[in-house]
Amino acid sequence: MKSLEPIEVFKALSNEARLQILEWLKDPKAYFGPQEGVDLIDVGVCVSQITAKLNMTQSTTSQYLSVLQRAGLIHATRIGKWTYYKRDEEAIQAIATYIRKDL
């Protein structure tokens, strides 16, 4: 499995809001508005948009994103003072393969 720790992945997936974030990031154009100068698909979604959509505090959103990032399910890109997040599709495929073959 692509350097993913299954337990960390399953812990990250065991929260409804974190699952929701992954779903939204699968098709960001369907769930988030355009971002000035930053492509939703290529770069990712700004943490402020994710925070607004979750209707949670910025600190809670950041904590959820950190859990997903530590599990290897998303990538963060910093541009200026903003951080953008996108799914790691290769990692998600790796965990799917692990579930299919090893569980």
pLDDT tens track, the chain, 103 positions: 456 899 999 999 999 999 999 999 999 999 999 998 999 999 999 999 999 999 999 999 999 999 999 999 999 999 999 999 999 999 999 999 999 999 8
Residue 77's nearest CA partner among 36, 35, 37, 47 is: 47
Task: Tell me which fold the domain 6-102 belongs to.
Answer: Arc Repressor Mutant, subunit A (1.10.10)
Place of tokens 């890109």: 77
The CA distance from 45 to 51, in Å, is: 10
pLDDT digits (tens, 9 = 90+) for 67-87: 999 999 999 999 999 999 999
Which sequence spans correspond to the domains of the chain?
Answer: 6-102
